[in-house]
Homo-oligomer: A and B are copies of this chain.
Amino acid sequence: MNDSHILWQIVEAGHRITERLESALEPTGLSLAKLNALRYLVEARTPLPLGQLAERIVCVKSNVTQLVDRLENDGLVRRLPDPNDRRSILAAVTDAGRERFRAGATALMRAERELLAEFPEAEQQHIADLLSAIGTASTG
């Protein structure tokens, strides 16, 4: 498992990165998952059906149900009935949600900049290219 080989270096570097970003976000009361959902809602500029939010996040619908539960609990999102389809439920960002999103996005960008600084800039594109290929091949 914790071999020295490159696969685990990648996995662990990924963990360290997300840990750092989560820590940077902590003072804002957001997690990466919440900030990400909020971003889609803010950018949509109109309430989104939960199913569409799930598509954009690229996760299962039941995950969105729970994520929106927590966001609603935080007062950052409200559920609204969809006037055009009574099966559908819309998620709308509240003013508090928009404000929180701005704070989170700022904190995240600052943390990203810090982490990025630990990386030789000349190498970044090269490594990104190599990484984008890995694990992408079909398994059969």
Contact = CB atoms under 8 A, between A and B. Distances in A.
Q: Binding site of A, secondary structure by majority: helix, strand, loop or mixed?
A: helix
Interface stretch (A63-71, A79-87, A92-100, A127-135): A127-135
Interface residues of A, number: 45
Contact of A7 (B7, B116, B135, B137): B116
B18 A11 contact: yes
A37 to B, nearest CB: 10
A15 to B, nearest CB: 7
A29 interface: no
Chain copies in complex: 2
B13 A135 contact: yes
Given A6-B127, A23-B139, A1 B132 contact: no
A44 to B, nearest CB: 15
Interface in A32-73: 32, 35-36, 39
24 contacts: A1-B36, A1-B39, A5-B128, A6-B116, A6-B119, A6-B124, A6-B128, A9-B128, A9-B131, A10-B10, A10-B13, A10-B17, A11-B18, A13-B14, A13-B131, A13-B132, A13-B135, A16-B135, A19-B135, A115-B134, A118-B133, A119-B134, A123-B130, A127-B127
Interface of A: 1-7, 9-21, 23, 32, 35-36, 39, 108, 112, 115-116, 118-120, 123-124, 127-128, 130-137, 139
